[in-house]
């Protein structure tokens, strides 16, 4: 095993590979797209299904990890991925980043500013402004550090579903650093999502109205009794819990009143009683002197909420909706409805919903598998984790993800990332192909990264257990098939032929497929359009 990801090697997901199972075509007969959530039968859970589960419930897996899941069967596999608190992981600490780069002026500083302004002291004003700008510059640098920290965590975690869900909630409760310019608050918010990743959505909703990053992003810290700011109240319902048309303009106005006073001081939530409108309100059919928590309670009791969240989870883990195909939309809707019931029946516990979904035949249907366009995070993190390449340079990976349209901590708007086909255009396609080229070979437009020549990537573990042919050499056809099924989930004729032709043209000695040839075959596979799917 090459160095670069000791956490993956040490993770409980790494199997003791005693004879890798051969990847085979799905053993399930093609069946209609189920409207129910019948669990998948053990016998139908093979290599392709385990691979699919690892990609959708995480960021992909190595052949060894896929084979381990096949051996475990669906129940144990889903339990292992979902009950991730049982897996030891690096804790997230409050002091990992500096909370004082951005802080409110203290009394002394406030006095200095007032004096400078009163006396028209240009020099002092300039100096204070310069020190503020310096703090902002330092904070932007720390934000990049936090980005790299999270990216590294996604790459190394033995709890892939935890990070997957953290990213999901980050896109759902979208908050952009550019607007709030406080990296520590973004870090705290990130941990909030991690804490509640597969927990209770209700608890998360109560927590988000206390989160400094969200309060600043949606201007609730400026909201006052008599002059309420409606931004948070609106997005709380429209984007975070109920969806459009499930509330009225009146609910927004009244909800905004309920949220007055929900603010923060420095890094902690602060309920400012003197700014809070304590009057009687009517929100979503409930009446009383409601505060922010009562507002959230009213939301959670609204049946539109579990339906909205269930639909979002479905779109993230299963299929983008609407699918555009009548024969899929109906069953999808039905499944979303059942997930919504599970969510509301379980008082917003997310785990049971995911458990039911990830164990269902519906989830493993051929129409679902290999149909989702990988987000930039899935692509980059997934490549490192599944192909076990060195991570090389987090800055390069993070920048590339940004160029692909997903700079973590910088969602383009409060709607988060659209996802799906919007990830793909002619420019992002080249960036996607080229970041894989970088991971596999270290090649950048300017040259090679130093690690590439010191420690060349060795992908031969991908061929473990592959039988040599009668001539004592690996057959190009079996190599192509093995790699295509691992990387793409299927080995189509055209792709196989292109790879076989290439390998035959290489005329390698020895086992018939040299390390260099293997890397080049992977370059071709990762440049295939289908590689963008999972």
Partner 1 sequence: MPSFFNHGPTPMAFTRRSLLRNGLVMASAAASVPYFLERSAMAMAAPDGLSSTPGVPDERILVVVQMGGGNDGLNTVIPFGDGAYYKSRPQIAIPAARALVLDRQAGIGLHPSLTGFKGLYDAGLMSVVQGVGYPNPNRSHFKSMDIWHTADTTATGNGWLGRYFDAECCGVDLHGKATPEPMAGIAVGREAPLAMQGQLSKPIGFESADLFQWLGGGVERKLGPAYDEINRRGETGGVDPASTQSFLMRTAMDAQVSSDQIRKAVSAKPLSPYPGSDLARQLSMVSSMIRAGLKTRVYYVTLGGFDTHAGQGGENGRHAQLMQQVGSSIKAFYDDLKKQGNDTRVLTVSFSEFGRRVVQNASGGTDHGAAAPMFLFGPMVRPGVIGNHPSLTDLDAGDLKYGIDFRSVYAGVLEQWLKADSKKVLEGSYRAALVIKKA
Choice between 177 and 184, CB closer to partner 1:
177
Of 267 and 399, the one with the shorter C-beta distance to partner 1 is 399
Contacts of 455 (CB under 8 A, 6+ apart): 2, 3, 4, 390
CB of 440 to partner 1, least distance (A): 8
Closest CA to 401 of 382, 421, 377: 377
- Smallest distance, partner 1 to C-beta of residue 499, A: 8
Rounded to a whole number of angstroms, the minimum distance from the CB of residue 360 to partner 1 is 21
User: How many residues are there in the chain?
Assistant: 534
**Of 71 and 325, CB closest to partner 1:** 325
Smallest separation (angstroms) from partner 1 to the CB of 87: 32
153's CB contacts (< 8 A; 6+ apart) are 90, 163
CA dihedral 355, 359, 362, 363 (to 10 degrees): 80
Report the alpha-carbon distance of residue 363 to residue 359 in Å, rounded. 7
- Of 190 and 428, nearer to partner 1 (C-beta) is 428
Toward partner 1, which CB reaches closer, 225 or 443?
Answer: 443
In whole angstroms, the minimum distance from the beta carbon of 33 to partner 1 comes to 15
Give Cβ neighbours of residue 338 (< 8 Å, ≥ 6 apart).
36, 37, 356
Q: How far apart are CA 397 and CA 449, in angstroms?
A: 13
Stated as kind and residue range, the H or E segment containing 149 is helix 122-156
- Tell me how far, at minimum, the Cβ of 194 lies from partner 1, in Å: 27
For partner 1, which is the closer residue by CB, 85 or 418? 418
Nearer to partner 1, 402 or 459 (CB): 402
Nearer to partner 1, 16 or 493 (CB): 493
Q: How far is the CB of 513 from partner 1 (least distance, A)?
A: 15
Shortest distance in whole angstroms from residue 169 CB to partner 1: 22
Which is nearer to partner 1, 85 or 492 (by Cβ)?
Answer: 492
Q: Give the number of other CB atoms < 10 A from CB of residue 132.
A: 14
Nearer to partner 1, 198 or 236 (CB): 236
- Which residues here bind partner 1, judged by CB under 8 A? 122-123, 126, 129-130, 178, 324-325, 370-373, 402-403, 405, 412-413, 421, 424-430, 433-434, 437-438, 441, 443-445, 494-495, 498-499, 501-502, 505, 516, 520, 523-524, 527-530, 532-533
SS3 assignment, position 427: helix
**Closest C-alpha to 168, from 315, 291, 333:** 315
CA dist., res. 344 & res. 307, Å (int):
9
Could you tell me the smallest distance in angstroms from the CB atom of residue 405 to partner 1?
Answer: 8
What is the residue whose two structure tokens read 């400026």? 222
Q: Minimum distance between the CB of residue 122 and partner 1, rounded to whole angstroms?
A: 6
Identify the CA nearest to 386 among candidates 35, 53, 26, 39: 53
Kindly list the distances between the CA atom of residue 279 and the CA atoms of 248, 290, 349, in Å, as whole numbers in the listed order: 19, 8, 32
Contact 413, 174 (CB under 8 A): yes
Q: What does DSSP say about strands 281-283 and 268-271: parallel, antiparallel, or unpaired?
A: unpaired
Residue 130 Cβ, how far from partner 1 at the closest point, in Å?
7
User: DSSP letters of 31-84?
Assistant: ----SS-PBPPGGG--HHHHHHHHHHTSS---HHHHHHHHHHHHHHHHHHHH-G
d(CA 316, CA 339): 13
- The residue (of 178 and 227) whose beta carbon lies closer to partner 1 is 178
């Amino acid at each position: 095993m090459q160095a670069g990801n000791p956490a993956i090697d040490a993770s409980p997901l790494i199997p003791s590979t005693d004879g890798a199972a051969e990847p085979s075509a799905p053993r399930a007969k093609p069946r209609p797209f189920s409207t129910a959530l019948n669990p998948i039968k053990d016998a139908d859970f093979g290599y392709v299904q385990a691979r699919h589960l690892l990609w959708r419930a995480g960021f992909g897996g190595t052949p060894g990890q896929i084979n381990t899941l096949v051996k475990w069967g669906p129940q144990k596999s889903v339990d292992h991925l979902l009950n991730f608190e049982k897996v030891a992981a690096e804790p997230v600490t409050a002091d990992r980043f500096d909370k004082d780069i951005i802080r409110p002026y203290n009394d002394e500083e406030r006095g200095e500013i007032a004096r400078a302004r009163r006396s028209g002291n240009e020099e002092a004003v300039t100096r204070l402004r310069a020190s503020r700008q310096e703090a902002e510059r330092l904070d932007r640098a720390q934000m990049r550090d936090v980005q790299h920290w999270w990216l590294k965590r996604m790459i190394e975690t033995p709890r892939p579903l935890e990070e997957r869900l953290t990213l999901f909630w980050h896109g759902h409760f979208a908050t952009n650093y550019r607007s709030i310019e406080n990296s520590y608050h973004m870090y705290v918010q990130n941990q909030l999502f991690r804490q509640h990743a597969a927990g209770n959505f209700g608890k998360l909703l109560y927590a988000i109205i206390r989160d400094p990053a969200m309060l600043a992003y949606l201007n609730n810290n400026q909201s006052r009794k008599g002059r309420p700011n409606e931004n948070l109240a609106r997005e709380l319902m429209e984007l975070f819990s109920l969806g459009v048309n499930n509330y009225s303009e009146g609910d927004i106005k009244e909800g905004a009143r309920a949220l007055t006073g929900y603010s923060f001081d420095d890094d902690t939530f602060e309920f400012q009683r003197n700014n809070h409108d304590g009057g009687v309100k009517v929100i979503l059919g409930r009446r009383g002197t409601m505060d922010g928590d009562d507002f959230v309670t009213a939301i959670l009791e609204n049946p539109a909420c579990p339906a909205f969240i269930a639909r979002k989870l479905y779109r993230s883990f299963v299929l983008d909706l609407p699918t555009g195909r009548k024969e899929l939309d109906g069953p999808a809707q039905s499944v979303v409805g059942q997930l919504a019931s599970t969510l509301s029946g379980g008082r917003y516990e997310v785990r049971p919903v995911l458990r039911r979904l990830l164990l269902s035949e519906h989830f493993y249907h051929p129409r679902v598998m290999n149909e989702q366009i990988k987000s930039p995070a899935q692509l980059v993190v997934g490549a490192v984790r599944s192909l076990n390449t060195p991570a090389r340079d987090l800055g390069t990976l993070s920048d590339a993800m940004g160029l692909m349209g997903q700079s973590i901590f910088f969602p383009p708007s409060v709607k988060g990332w659209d996802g799906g086909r919007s990830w793909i255009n002619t420019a992002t396609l080249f960036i996607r192909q080229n970041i894989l080229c970088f991971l596999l070979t270290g090649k950048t437009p300017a040259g090679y990264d130093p690690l590439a020549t010191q420690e060349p990537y060795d992908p031969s573990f991908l061929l473990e257990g592959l039988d040599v042919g009668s001539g004592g050499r690996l057959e190009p056809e079996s190599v192509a098939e093995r790699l295509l099924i691992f990387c793409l989930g299927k080995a189509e004729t055209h792709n196989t032929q292109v790879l076989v032709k290439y390998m035959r043209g290489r005329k390698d000695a020895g086992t018939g497929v040299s390390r260099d040839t293997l890397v080049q075959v992977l370059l071709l596979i990762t440049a295939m359009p289908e590689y963008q799917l999972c």
